[in-house]
Amino acid sequence: MIITIDGPAGTGKSTVARLLAKRLEYRYLDTGALYRVITYQALKNKISADDPARMAKLLKSIRVSFKEGKASQQVMLNGKNLTGEIRRPHITNNVYQYAELPLVRKAMLKIQREIGKKHSIVGEGRDLGSVVFPDAKIKFYLNATVKERALRRYKELKKKGIKDSYSKVLKEIKERDKRDTTRKLAPLRKAKGAIRVDTTSLSIQQVINKLLKLACCILEADRLIQIK
- Separation CA 82–CA 32 (nearest Å): 13
CA–CA separation, 98 vs 109, rounded Å?
14
**Which tens digit of pLDDT belongs to each residue from 28-37?**
998 889 999 9
User: What's the rounded mean pLDDT across residues 76-88?
Assistant: 89
pLDDT cut 70: percent of the chain above it: 95
pLDDT at 105: 93
Sketch out the chain's domains with CATH numbers: 2-211 (3.40.50.300)
